Amino acid sequence: MRPVAILGIGQTKIDEHWDKSLREIGGEAAFAAMQDAGAEKVDALFVGNMLSPLIDGQNQLGTYYADWIGLWKQEAVKVEAACASGAAALRAGLMAVSSGDIESALILGAEKMTDKAGHDVTSALATAADADYEVEQGISFVGINALVMRRYMHEFGWKHSDFAPFSINAHANAMHNPFARLHQKINADQFERSSMIATPINLMDASPIGDGAAAVVIVPAEKVASLKGKPRITVAGSASATDAIAVHSRKDPLFLSAAYQSSKRAYKMANVTQDDIDVFELHDAFSIMAALSLEACGFAERGQGVRLGLDDGISPNGRVPVCTRGGLKARGHPVGATGIYQIVEVVQQLRGACGETQVDGAKIGMAQNIGGSGATILTHILQAD
Amino acid sequence: MRPVAILGIGQTKIDEHWDKSLREIGGEAAFAAMQDAGAEKVDALFVGNMLSPLIDGQNQLGTYYADWIGLWKQEAVKVEAACASGAAALRAGLMAVSSGDIESALILGAEKMTDKAGHDVTSALATAADADYEVEQGISFVGINALVMRRYMHEFGWKHSDFAPFSINAHANAMHNPFARLHQKINADQFERSSMIATPINLMDASPIGDGAAAVVIVPAEKVASLKGKPRITVAGSASATDAIAVHSRKDPLFLSAAYQSSKRAYKMANVTQDDIDVFELHDAFSIMAALSLEACGFAERGQGVRLGLDDGISPNGRVPVCTRGGLKARGHPVGATGIYQIVEVVQQLRGACGETQVDGAKIGMAQNIGGSGATILTHILQAD
């Protein structure tokens, strides 16, 4: 495989952009990434998006954006893996550049979840679960995650309040990220008193939806060997793995087997272990997912992911800094775009551009993007020269 | 780029499969392809599908199928480019195998368009067009193609009946394809007297929807160098190109610029010209598209694609055999699966397995898959050793 570097990054603020269309938010992020990369053209566009057919009545998003941002005649395609669509689009682009068939690609994650006339967001998000064997029974996507969290608490003896550090850390870090959806510090009391959504998941366990787009430009690593001013950032590891789509079909619903598989493959490809990871942008769609991800990737023992938060291990100065720009919980979760936001944020860390939430001397960063409640999981490891 | 071979093919009959789910038709094609390839496992699954979020309430189709067909833990993803989703999934898989990151892949195109409770098919298909600037105005997807056909007839002086050969050839060839949706020969009179859908497109100009799935297994070409019994079939050319998503934004709405671009790139990669193509499975979603595709790929002059039909140039014994297994018109058009049906059919031709519609001595075949009314176009060239 030909090594690939990330040359430029771009993102929009995640918000309810009632004044901007799906086209416009995607264009904003794409142009920002192209400008950051100093690129006027790329060979291909890979778009990560989950909900545009349902919410925006629009398919064929690859070509839709190639048209809008002026990549006329160029190759373009959309990749979808529910909430892991962003990372899946990145991986498709990586494969194309690695193969030698193309020399550059723009990867765009974009999602507009508010202010449209299509499906309501709750039923649209439920398409990530199994339509025949989960959704048909009347359960929502939050409900599925609530069952997992309840079982985890029962199995390992944790209280709801033990999950508070994930949310508190995310909100604290988002205060310093101008692109974050929520700029509001919270404390343990506010976490515990928040409105219930699906017991035991309350509003502070759950990530907010939003409109957002993020983009990166990738090129063969050998082409940026001589780049000055900022470190060259390469994709050292990339892997994708799956599990049963319905939670009840999994051997162990409390173990993210696809996170274990994809992180194992990514570590091997990058020739690192979890101890080498300086910063980890994980997929805290719900606080339970943060705990399970830490466990499956080797940062905590089974049932002890929560402990890492309680022991102050997840802050920017902790042993395993997570959600350093706010995570899904406070930066926001525009589903198909989230995986690219994570990559953008790891790049920011490796560039040393994160100010108050900068992880000192970060050289190796990891991003993990989850589709469904653990069904499709992609892990990427980035490395600064 | 590491060359890639197609090791196995599989397909279901296209029909209204009221007794089979989306899962089941996809599994049927996948298992058939794995069996034909003699493979028990593959490294990754790439699924082409357009409508499952809208019609089946199901996203994350990569993992959904990996789960169903027993590719546990393996990588899986869905690729979407409207009606070109099948070929786009193939191209994503090709890039991944070419890159050296994986050693085998199953590419599955699947679509269930009947017997479900979601969107009606006409509004779901309209998501291939521009939601803001075309569909919002009240036009259907057939309506857009009708405007193009009307303009073509006006510009180049053709009558509606001049398009008959495309439909007659497709129906005649489908008689010998057990997987085809329609087994019914038609004549020029039946073509002309058929029910009008959107003037000038009548029922015999338009391809039927249906439930269907088709699959191929791909591996590095060097791994099948020693295969006996059937010729080794390699992907000699693969390219994708785009045009403006809305027809009114195109420089020339009567020229498929993305077909021209992608065929040009594919010819170059395969080191062939259009004269070397023995069989061409084109995207006759509407008869006008067959004419435009022939012109853009260099088989006919501008405005003269129709002439090729009138001069008996498109039958299995003609100068440019097209739709040899029935094409979209009579084999059927389960949108996201169509691109893989085309590949399966080209492989059948290169294997010499097409009986009455076999193109004598076919060694090089081409397939072209179109998303929208010309917005995303992929061209693949296969070659038999």
Q: Do B77 and A64 touch (CB under 8 A)?
A: no
Average pLDDT, chain B: 96
Helix (H) / strand (E) element for B31: namely helix B22-37
Q: Inspect the interface and report whether the beta carbons of B73 and A243 lie closer than 8 Å.
A: yes
A135 min Cα distance to partner chain B (Å): 9
Pairwise CA distance, residues A84 & A47, whole Å: 12
Contact A80 B59 (CB under 8 A): yes
Q: Mean pLDDT across the stretch B348-353?
A: 97
Mutation for A interface: B47, B65, B77, B127, most A CBs within 10 A: B77
C-alpha neighbours within 13 Å on the C-beta side of residue B329: 35
Facing B376 at nearest CB: one of A76, A94, A128:
A76
Give residue-wise pLDDT tens across range B171-229.
999 999 999 999 999 999 999 999 999 999 999 999 999 999 999 999 999 998 755 66
Q: What are phi and psi of B239, to 5 degrees?
A: -155, 150
What's the longest Cα–Cα distance across chain A? 57
* Contact (CB, 8 A) for A52 and A248: no
Q: How far is residue B261 from each of residues A99, A382, B298, B321, measured CA to CA in Å?
A: 20, 34, 11, 21
- Residue A111: helix, strand or coil by DSSP? strand
Best B60, B106, B245 residue to mutate vs chain A (most A CBs within 10 Å): B60
Render each residue's pLDDT in chain A as its tens digit; 385 residues. 899 999 999 999 999 999 999 999 999 999 999 999 999 999 999 999 999 999 999 999 999 999 999 999 999 999 999 999 999 999 999 999 999 999 999 999 999 999 776 678 999 999 999 999 999 999 999 999 999 999 999 999 999 999 999 999 999 999 999 999 999 999 999 999 999 999 999 999 999 999 999 999 999 999 987 556 679 999 999 999 999 999 999 999 999 999 999 999 999 999 999 999 999 999 999 999 999 999 999 999 999 999 999 999 999 999 999 999 999 999 999 999 999 999 999 999 999 999 999 999 999 999 999 999 999 999 999 999 8
Rounded distance between C-alpha atoms, residue B379 and residue B366, angstroms: 7
Chain B residue with CA closest to A243: the answer is B73
Active site residues per annotation of A:
83, 333
CA B75 to chain centre: 25
* Torsion of the alpha carbons at B216, B71, A337 and A180, rounded to the nearest 10: -170
Are B48 and B339 in contact by the 8 Å Cβ rule? The answer is yes
B60, B82, B95 member nearest A371 (Cβ):
B60
Q: What share of chain B is helix, strand, coil (3-state, %, to 5)?
A: 40, 20, 40
Q: How does pLDDT run across A226-252, given as a tens digit for each residue?
A: 556 679 999 999 999 999 999 999 999
Q: Are A242 and B91 within 8 A, CB to CB? A: no
Cross-chain CB nearest to A73 (options B50, B80, B261): B261
A264's tokens? 């194992």
Interchain CB distance below 8 Å, B50 and A59: yes
DSSP 3-state of B332: coil
